């Protein structure tokens, strides 16, 4: 099946599920990003999203905006690609965001592609995406054999339908087909952009600061959603955010470094403080031995992170004391803080594993097995008998 996917030249449809986008980011080699669903544009709901929020992906029943709103040419500081192949809009929208985020680890394949297409116009970038096997194979990670067959059949139908004249409505030619489409919104250098791969050029939504750009894009999204009647309410909004693990692991590294330095100070001032048999009193409790004091692979914490993180200013100021009991109190506080950090890291890791499991379940293709089983039943005459018992039309034609 993997070979069939890699040899298939089509592009599959992708659900608007954050799990699939997160697995795609991982397979593409991008580090430090996560995709989270935006269930509501209310400020109270958006406030729970991890920060920073780099961009939004919007799925809707596509309608073309006024071309006059588009830029005449793509600004040099904006990486934008057109969508030149069918069903690629999810990946095009994702790349249109990822390639406009500064200082992220794209991984070698995507970084090389970005360098290669740096001077390309949007149409050539889109054409390059369509020919980029690495990206296409990642995009098609979730496709099944039956999906490939259906997409190929749909392409044949669309080709035939394209030869027929379109219906007229309000003096304009329209197509009855419903086209759901992913587009991107992202601030770049103080300007908010709508990046729609089906439009020739980016569309500026005005100047904006990095802190309030969500407030500016909210009216635009709400206006688009109100254009549709009550029967067309299939929308989805996904946010591309910094992976919470980036901040959590950084905070854990700082915590461990503070504890290391604190332990060194305690060794100088009270050499017996590590003795668990010493009574805990009001001057400071003896902390648990399970507190991390160095790198730990289970929490994605390496020695480099601990060595290069800056010491917290508040801890640095309090280390000046010669009072060992006060230092023990500080350590106890850091140990409690570490427990919360480690729990949060494990929670994010579990979320990541659930995304992988969900994507893996989607990739399970039982179609070939079912087809072989049906052929076996047909050869044995069992299928004909079963169909005849149900009086299925055409059963006599089975051999």
**Nearest-angstrom CA–CA distance, 362 and 95:** 23
Q: What tokens appear for 35 in the block? A: 């995709």
Taking each helix axis from N to C end, the angle separating 89-98 and 18-28, rounded to the nearest 10 degrees, works out to: 60
Nearest in space to 134 (alpha carbons), one of 152, 159, 146, 116: 116
**Nearest-angstrom CA–CA distance, 28 and 23:** 8
3-class SS of residue 33:
strand
In eight-state DSSP terms, residue 366 is -
Strand 33-37 and strand 236-242: the pairing is antiparallel
Nearest in space to 181 (alpha carbons), one of 166, 194, 161, 198: 198
Task: Name the active-site residue from 89, 203, 254, 258.
Answer: 89
Task: Name the active-site residue from 181, 203, 254, 258.
Answer: 181
**Nearest-angstrom CA–CA distance, 102 and 152:** 38
Catalytic residue at 89? yes
Q: Please list the active-site residues.
A: 89, 181
């Amino acid at each position: 099946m993997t070979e069939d996917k890699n040899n298939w030249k089509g592009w599959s449809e992708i659900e608007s599920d954050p799990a699939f986008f997160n697995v795609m980011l991982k397979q593409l080699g991008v580090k430090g990003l996560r995709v989270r669903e935006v269930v509501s544009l209310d400020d109270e709901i958006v406030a729970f999203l991890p920060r920073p929020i780099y961009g939004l992906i919007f799925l809707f029943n596509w309608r073309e905006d006024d071309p006059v709103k588009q830029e005449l040419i793509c600004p040099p500081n904006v990486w934008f690609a057109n969508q030149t192949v069918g069903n690629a809009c999810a990946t095009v929208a994702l790349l249109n965001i990822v390639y406009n985020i500064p200082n992220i680890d794209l991984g070698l394949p995507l970084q090389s592609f970005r360098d290669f297409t740096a001077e390309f116009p949007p149409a050539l970038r889109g054409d390059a995406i369509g020919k980029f096997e690495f990206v296409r194979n990642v995009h098609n990670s979730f496709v099944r054999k039956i999906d490939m067959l259906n997409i190929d059949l749909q392409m044949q139908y669309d080709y035939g339908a394209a030869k027929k004249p379109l219906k007229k409505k309000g003096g304009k030619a329209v197509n009855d087909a419903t086209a759901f489409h992913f587009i991107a919104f992202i601030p770049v250098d103080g300007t908010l952009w709508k990046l729609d791969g089906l439009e020739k050029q980016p569309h500026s939504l005005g100047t904006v600061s990095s802190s309030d750009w969500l407030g500016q894009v909210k009216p635009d999204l709400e206006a688009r959603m109100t254009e549709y009647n009550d029967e067309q309410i299939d929308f989805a909004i996904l946010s591309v955010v910094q992976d919470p693990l980036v901040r959590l692991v950084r905070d854990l590294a700082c915590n461990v470094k503070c504890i290391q330095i604190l332990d060194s100070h305690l060794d100088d001032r009270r050499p017996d403080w590590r003795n668990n048999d010493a009574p805990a009193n009001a001057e400071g409790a003896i902390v648990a031995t399970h507190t991390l004091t160095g790198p730990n692979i289970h929490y994605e914490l390496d020695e480099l992170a601990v060595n290069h993180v800056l010491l917290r200013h508040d801890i640095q100021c309090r280390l000046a004391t010669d009072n060992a009991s006060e230092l023990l109190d500080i350590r106890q506080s850091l140990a409690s803080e570490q427990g919360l950090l480690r729990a949060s890291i494990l929670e994010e890791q579990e979320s990541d594993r659930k995304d992988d499991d969900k994507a893996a379940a989607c990739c399970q293709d039982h179609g070939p097995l079912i087809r072989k089983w049906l052929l076996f039943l047909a050869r044995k005459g069992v299928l004909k008998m079963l169909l005849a018992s149900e009086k299925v039309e055409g059963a006599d034609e089975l051999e």
